[in-house]
Amino acid sequence: MTTPYVIGIGNAVMDVIASATDEGLAKLGVEKGIMQLTDRARSEYLMAAQSADQGAGKARLVPGGSVANTLAGIGMLGLRTAFIGRVADDALGLSYAEQTEAGGTVFVNPPVGGDQLPTSRSIIMVTPDGERSMNTYLGISAELGPGDVNPAVFQGAGWLFLEGYLFDKAPGKAAFLKAAEACHAAGGQAGIALSDPFCVDRHREDFRRLVAGPMDYVIGNVHEWESLYQCDLDAALDQAARDCGLVICTRSGDDAILIRAGQRVMAPVRRVVPVDATGAGDQFAAGLIYGLAVGAPLEVAGRMGCVAAAEVIGHLGARPQRDLRVDFRAEGLAP
């Protein structure tokens, strides 16, 4: 049997991770424990300060971004993966592309040279209590457009997964529509993660057209679905099920809901003490898409998503640290 092939499109964000102290955060004016967007100048200032802080140790460079994390999880489960994103031809961009390829995911487009924005980065300062203070500069990744989508890449692709954050700009919207068309032409299924209720608020009508149009499956949490349809969750999911073939709703600490062709199933969460919630949604998507791609029943695919999410919140970092197929077999989800 041919190994399923999954393509993702999203922000290519390099995580630049280093230790910090509370005093160091205060000195830099970094608010502890939150993610905040920064401009280029602020980002470069924090990078320089991090490099100059000898007590922090050498920063780790870890490729990140929501869909990129999902693809890494899917690849670790044994499927073929490819990532469409934009990085610059700078040190961070070259490292991002190299590490992505080394991890088994094809990095489709080469780093962009010339007078461009720099590679996107999230400067993550970790204090001794485990709190992560994230300072994210979107850079060149947010400039992804239809020119970055080559329909030839989709030959043999059964699944496409899109990152809602990139729907914030017109070129990103055009890229998504082009990718969905190419995926469908290749016989595949296209889907999206709504990503953020504020992003949905900004582009509600466009998102609704996308959900009711070229998307075959859509993943969102309670707040995102309620924002999309501006009503309570039950009514939102009823409308979503009329608009889209497969609707998935994640609920923090509660069972996930999956609706397809009139079938509504619940996928029970695995309750664990969270160490780091970063990546929970990304790895839920990885387990879910893996299950769908290998033809698992809907409830099984949903449970795979919950198992993958439980693994990733049990440790620091947004990607799995052990073979999830072992966990799937232990749960009776795979042979």
Domain-embedded: residue 324: yes
Residues 6+ apart with CB under 8 A from 294: 4, 79
Q: Residue 323: its pLDDT value, please?
A: 92
> Which pair of tokens denotes residue 257?
């809901």
User: Does residue 42 sit within a domain?
Assistant: no
pLDDT at 55: 58
**Number of domain units in the chain:** 1
Say whether pTM exceeds 0.75: yes
Q: Please report, for the domain that includes residue 174, its CATH number.
A: 3.40.1190.20
Give me the pLDDT at residue 54, please: 57
Question: Is residue 33 in some structural domain?
Answer: no
CA distances from 66 to 88, 278, 289 (A): 19, 10, 14
The residue segments making up the domain with residue 246 are: 5-11+67-117+143-330
Query: Which residue has tokens 């057209």?
Result: 209
C-alpha span between 327 and 314 (Å, rounded):
13
The pLDDT of residue 18 is 85
Note the pLDDT of residue 277: 75
pLDDT score recorded for residue 269: 84
- Is 96 a member of any domain? yes
138 falls within a domain: no
**Computed over its alpha carbons, how large is the radius of gyration of the chain?**
19
Q: Using the structure block, give the residue that is written with the tokens 């992560």.
A: 132
Q: Identify the segments of the chain with pLDDT beneath 50.
A: none
By CB neighbour count within 10 A (0-12 exposed, 13-18 middle, 19+ buried), where does 127 fall?
A: middle
Question: What is the C-alpha to C-alpha distance for residues 304 and 295, in angstroms, rounded to an integer?
Answer: 12
Q: Is residue 20 part of a domain?
A: no
Residue 151 in domain: yes
Buried b (16+ CB within 10 A) or exposed e, 292-331: bbbebebbbbbbbbbbbbbbbbbeebbbbeeebbebbeee
Query: What pLDDT does residue 245 have?
Result: 95
Quick check: is 130 in a domain?
A: no
pLDDT recorded at residue 33: 84
